[in-house]
Amino acid sequence: MENLLYYGIAFWQTHRTEDDCELAIRTSNGRVFYCRFDPSQFHRSPSTTKLYFKCLNTLRSEEEEIDGFYVEDARPTISQYLFALYFVCALKATDDTPEPYQLDTQDSGWSTPKTRMNGAFVASLDQWTQSYHPADVEISYDRPQHVSIKDPTRVVVAGPGGSEVTCFFKPFRLTFGPVLARKELRTHEEIVKAKIPPFPETSICRLRGIVRDGNDFYSMLFTWIEKKAVLSKGLAAKSSTLRKQRWANQIGRSVEYLHQRAIVWGDVKAENVLIDRNDDAWVIDFGGSYTPPGWVDAEKAGTVEGDMQGLAKILDLLRS
């Protein structure tokens, strides 16, 4: 098969009140172009301006066009994704003639998402979980146009005896600071040390390791779940009573095990229950950073009482 070069928008940032935008274009050969667009730089260029606003409105709507082209799996490393060669660019236009130009990368404001942590917390990690260097984590893509472009989700690391272990990649975003990162990792440490039984006795998504380089933390790795759907009112409405009862039992039993060991789920909502391809319900996400109104009262968030309030609403959804 011909080795084609693919590219796509990996990230974009628009504003509600301003018409400028920024986006990152990644290529399948490991390049990143950070681009800035401001229509005030388009002079006597009505066609360019019209096209720009059409693109801007598409980005604001968060719609994605998918062409349905599938090919074999490809696996670059997380290191290649995080530390790609990058360029900072901008665009101006005169008389509808686009003029792209390059900016200095030193003051670009772009950086690799990571969280930096220090002290005894970092030193204790190897006692209860495994650390992986970014160069040792391979990204598993299914489509060539996603290679080194789409945010990684499924990754592969080395397992016992030369085996491979598939994991879910959850990055530490720029908004996910050390306080929240440490809080979520502490909860997973408690789960490990409490020796909560694995599936099928409980269905709790487990931490498999951390991707870091020294004190720079890039992501958490979790048990890979072949997701069928996220629990929702619509999914419950079209599911059988027997199936919903199965999910209710699995969720309730998992939360009960957590509470018996004084561990709080902390972010209780239907979106944090995954239904896998075998129709099992999994409890995920112990960050506890935000629970939308309607699930847990603000004053109860992060408590056993808050867990029980949110759980009751999930069970009500499954009884509907």
Cα distances (angstroms) measured from residue 130 to each of 78, 97, 126, 159, 233:
16, 53, 6, 11, 37
Q: Say if pTM beats, i.e. exceeds, 0.75.
A: yes
In order, the DSSP letters of 7-32 are EEEEEEE--SS---EEEEEEETTSEE
- Phi and psi, residue 312, nearest 5°: -60, -35
Cα distances (angstroms) measured from residue 222 to each of 50, 166, 233:
44, 9, 26
Joined tokens for residue 141? 């893509």
Report the b/e string of 91-125 with b at 16+ CB within 10 A.
Answer: bbbeeeeeeeeeeeeeeeeeeeebbebeeeebeeb
How many Å apart are CA 29 and CA 147, to the nearest integer? 8
Which residues are within 8 A (CB) of 231 and not within 5 positions of it... i.e. 6 or more apart?
247, 270, 271, 273, 274, 275, 281, 314, 317
How many Å apart are CA 8 and CA 3, to the nearest integer? 16
How many Å apart are CA 108 and CA 167, to the nearest integer? 32
Mean pLDDT by 10 residues, the chain (320 residues): 72 88 88 92 94 88 47 70 89 95 75 84 93 95 78 92 94 77 92 95 96 95 96 95 97 97 93 96 83 83 93 94
How many Å apart are CA 110 and CA 2, to the nearest integer? 33
Comparing CA positions, the residue from 75, 189, 39 lying closest to residue 122 is 189
**What pLDDT score was predicted for residue 174?**
60
List domains and CATH numbers for the chain: 7-71+81-103 (no CATH), 115-223 (3.30.200.20), 227-319 (1.10.510.10)
Joined tokens for residue 282? 């999994």
